[in-house]
A and B are shown apart, each in its own frame.
Chain A
Amino acid sequence: MSANSSTTNQNGKMVAPQGFNLFVYKTKKYLGQLDPYLTLMGIGLWLFAYWVLCEGLQIWRFDKLPGPVAISKDWFAVDPFQGISIFTQEYYDHIIVSCRRILIAFGIATAFGVPLGLFMGWSRTIRDYIFPIIEVLRPIPILAWVPLSILLLPGFEGPVLFLATLASFFVTTLNAMLGVDSIDEEYFRAAGCLGSSRWDVFKNVVVPGALPFIFTGLQISIGVAWFSLVAAEMVSGDLGLGYLIVDAYMNNVTVPMVIAMITLGFIGYFSSALVRMLGNKLMAWHVKELSQQGR
């Protein structure tokens, strides 16, 4: 491989690197910039400040919190002092239960929210029927739904799933609708000129045109789903990361509490990244358009 990773073909003409070569080229370019080092330094500084507050100087009130050293000692211990580490089955049980709930809640919210939002954007009549109700229900905080959901649904699982679904459903629906609103009128006119039926317009203009907004909505929606899931698990739960946090707090073991929080952070990050990747895959045209604009 040549130094700048671009290769030459038989005619000696430069060709753009592809596949693995392109990856190597991009990685080298990235490492040549300041950004990754600043990120690393930021993380280091943050951890150091955390350590100073909790363990180094043991400032008042902070001395009750477990510091980075205490947490990592337990987190990676085969036989953790406070019960939770990467070697205990319990840790993974909580993670799996929460992830499964998110998958179900996010799945239901997407399966119903996206079509509903699209139809609301597409048809004035449907919007007139449904939109006012949604706009009134949407601002009600998810925690305010807790008593009602416990009254309405049996067991632990029902209310928890209901709450997580509800929150992300509103976000998804609204974004899908705004996505349709965002489509330039000229695309509808062009489709009409070209002889489209109403259904052709829905398939070929409404759905693809709204996709960028839908995926922005889905990224927010999966975050909101995690947020409301954990709140629900804290109130009414038997397992899951939210339950773990409250349970640890009640039993006065602070390390699992913080481990569960950090775990939530990482899983939340990866789940949004996953949604973003899926979106980019489905919207090659959008990604290419943005890259042409230098973004």
Chain B
Amino acid sequence: MTKEKNRNSGLGALSIKNVTKVYDPEGVNVMAVDNCSMEIAGSEVCMIVGPSGCGKTTLLNAIAGFHSVTEGSIHLDGELLCGPSKPLADQGADRMVVFQHGALFPWKTLQENVAYGPIVQKVLGSREAMDKAGTMLAEAGLGDFLTKYPGEVSSGMARRAEIVRALINDPKVLLLDEPYRAMDALTKQIMHESLLETYDRTGVTIFFITHDLEEAIFLGDKVHIVTTRPCQLKKTVEVKIPRPRSYETQSSEAFRKLLEEVSDAVHEEAVKAFQAGEREMA
């Protein structure tokens, strides 16, 4: 365990209390999240698993400041992000989002993309930011692709660069919304290993939404299983597999047992969601 050396260790504790979100797009109230509470410790890898369209992304959007909450509050390290007095959180570089479909700016090279955050926040001058971006991309194995546009590299590389773009801002929390959904199993494995390596190095708190149960157990400290809409916490499974983990972990007995436990809990919800005719979120 190298956690003691983490520069971010202990920071980034998220406290989600009684959050409710109601949409009313056509006059009919749709409850996406209902009285959902979760405690996420600093430097924890927290995996959110639940059926399609259950409101997991709504929760992430509330933390990131893209959507307001109807009731309840979210705190980051004791500071209020959003609550009854302030339903919409400010967007800020302490919580970086890695998007489901990837949101590197296609009109900027990988290096320009990564350097963008420090430049607009005026943390670094543009030359220093570009230098730092180059160094960090090289560390992530993308040194030969600095001047490539996102459209020219593979989706795995683009996703890796997007994570670097998030990390250069020293965020307390990394919010990932099914970032590896469209990837094949082999690429996914490589992405997982690189994310774990990044985590072991930085100790950033990770809030990770997924459908993939093996992914959830392989990466997570805790797996939060949520119900079908409206989204509530159903069960939390602690993953006590020691870090650093490698792909061999996935064939261990402990892993298989956890997978069974999570599967049982999720399956019930998946059936409910299917019967309710939930549309898959694109």
The minimal Cβ–Cβ distance linking A264 to chain B, given in whole angstroms, is: 35
> Which chain B residues in 100-129 approach chain A with CB under 8 Å?
101, 103-108, 116-117, 120-121
Query: Which single member of A193, A209, A211 contacts B97 (CB below 8 Å)?
Result: A193
The minimal Cβ–Cβ distance linking A184 to chain B, given in whole angstroms, is: 7
Chain A neighbourhood of B93, CB < 8 A: 193-195
Chain A neighbourhood of B152, CB < 8 A: 288-289, 292
The answer to the question of A11 belonging to the interface, with a C-beta cut-off of 8 Å to chain B, is no
Q: Are A292 and B151 in contact (CB under 8 A)?
A: yes
Q: Are B103 and A189 in contact (CB under 8 A)?
A: yes
Q: Closest residue of chain B to A190, judged by CB?
A: B103
Q: Closest residue of chain A to B91, judged by CB?
A: A192
Give the complex CA separation of A191 and B99 in angstroms. 12
Interface size class of A (residues with CB under 8 A): 20 to 34
The answer to the question of A283 belonging to the interface, with a C-beta cut-off of 8 Å to chain B, is yes
Query: Which single member of A186, A189, A195, A283 contacts B120 (CB below 8 Å)?
Result: A195
Give the complex CA separation of A209 and B71 in angstroms. 36
Known: A186-B99, A292-B152. Contact between A197 and B105, CB under 8 A?
A: no
The answer to the question of B65 belonging to the interface, with a C-beta cut-off of 8 Å to chain A, is yes
Interface size class of B (residues with CB under 8 A): 20 to 34
Q: Are B103 and A200 in contact (CB under 8 A)?
A: no
The minimal Cβ–Cβ distance linking A244 to chain B, given in whole angstroms, is: 43
Q: Closest residue of chain A to B104, judged by CB?
A: A190
The answer to the question of B255 belonging to the interface, with a C-beta cut-off of 8 Å to chain A, is no
Give the complex CA separation of A69 and B149 in angstroms. 52
Chain B neighbourhood of A200, CB < 8 A: 120
Chain A neighbourhood of B25, CB < 8 A: none
Q: Closest residue of chain A to B93, judged by CB?
A: A195
Query: Which single member of B92, B107, B117, B121 contacts A209 (CB below 8 Å)?
Result: B107
The answer to the question of A4 belonging to the interface, with a C-beta cut-off of 8 Å to chain B, is no
The answer to the question of A196 belonging to the interface, with a C-beta cut-off of 8 Å to chain B, is yes
Chain B neighbourhood of A283, CB < 8 A: 107
| 0/1 interface trace, chain A 257-295, chain B, CB 8 Å (1 if under) | 000000000000000000000000001111011001000
Interface of chain B, main secondary structure: loop
Q: Are B105 and A189 in contact (CB under 8 A)?
A: no
Q: Are B66 and A187 in contact (CB under 8 A)?
A: no
Known: A195-B121, A195-B169, A288-B152. Contact between A190 and B106, CB under 8 A?
A: no
The answer to the question of B165 belonging to the interface, with a C-beta cut-off of 8 Å to chain A, is yes
| 0/1 interface trace, chain A 56-90, chain B, CB 8 Å (1 if under) | 00000000000000000000000000000000000
Known: A194-B165, A195-B92, A285-B151. Contact between A186 and B105, CB under 8 A?
A: no
Give the complex CA separation of A200 and B96 in angstroms. 18
The answer to the question of B159 belonging to the interface, with a C-beta cut-off of 8 Å to chain A, is no
Q: Are A208 and B64 in contact (CB under 8 A)?
A: no
Give the complex CA separation of A144 and B129 in angstroms. 55
Q: Are A285 and B99 in contact (CB under 8 A)?
A: no
The answer to the question of B229 belonging to the interface, with a C-beta cut-off of 8 Å to chain A, is no
Chain A neighbourhood of B56, CB < 8 A: none
Give the complex CA separation of A279 and B121 in angstroms. 30
Known: A195-B121, A195-B169. Contact between A190 and B99, CB under 8 A?
A: yes
Q: Are A192 and B65 in contact (CB under 8 A)?
A: yes
Q: Are B107 and A189 in contact (CB under 8 A)?
A: no
Chain B neighbourhood of A285, CB < 8 A: 106-108, 149, 151
The minimal Cβ–Cβ distance linking B67 to chain A, given in whole angstroms, is: 10
Give the complex CA separation of A284 and B149 in angstroms. 9
Interface residue ranges, B against A (CB under 8 Å): 64-66, 91-93, 95-97, 99, 101, 103-108, 116-117, 120-121, 149, 151-152, 165, 169
Interface residue ranges, A against B (CB under 8 Å): 184, 186-187, 189-197, 200, 204-205, 208-209, 211, 283-286, 288-289, 292
